[in-house]
Amino acid sequence: MRILLLLTSVFGLTGGVHTFNRALIKATDDLASDLGLEVTVFSLLDSEVPFQAAADYMSSGHTRYRGFKGNKAEFATATLLAGWQANRVVFGHVNFSSLACGMPKPIKSLVVHGIDVWRALPSLQKLGISQMREILSVSEYTQEALVHFNGMPPVQFRLLPDTLDPFYSRMAD
């Protein structure tokens, strides 16, 4: 099974979304060998992954990473091409949701983090969200806000709260 993770940023910053993204990569990578997964990670804002991070977060040998240095056109093109080959695509930010319209085949999931969906969204993003099998929300409040402002049915939601970095204890030292 081929999984494509579309993320805003992973290794460049230390905020909540970045920590969530690192934990998602680590969890997916941990499952990759046991389940025979091929995982591809695209990060819009990052460039190359630091060597130590690759060893820590992507140790299975089944996860490939590519950073796009903020090049939205290149990211979108690569995403659409990879999306045709993937069995599952995880859209790590609502701003990527419109790309789902160009991928008829894979199972699609969207992660919503907070303030980015606490408003009425543009029509193209709503159309992309309508293509999702599930929406993973980091909080009930975010789920309720998305439904309230955009009329999304709550039955397709799953709660997936923010977490500490998998290597938090090492980072605390």
- pLDDT reported for residue 135: 94
Burial of 171 (0-12, 13-18, 19+ CB in 10 A): exposed
pLDDT at 64 over 60: yes
> 170 falls in which pLDDT band (50, 70, 90)?
low
Query: At residue 42, does pLDDT exceed 90?
Result: yes
Residue 168 predicted with pLDDT over 70: no
Exposure string over 46-85, b if 16+ CB within 10 A, otherwise e = beebeeebeebbbebebbebbbbeeeeeebbebbeebbee
Give the 3-state secondary structure of residue 57.
helix
CA-wise closest residue to 56 among 37, 88, 18, 30: 30
2 pLDDT tier (thresholds 50, 70, 90): very high
User: Domain 2-172 adopts which CATH fold?
Assistant: Rossmann fold (3.40.50)
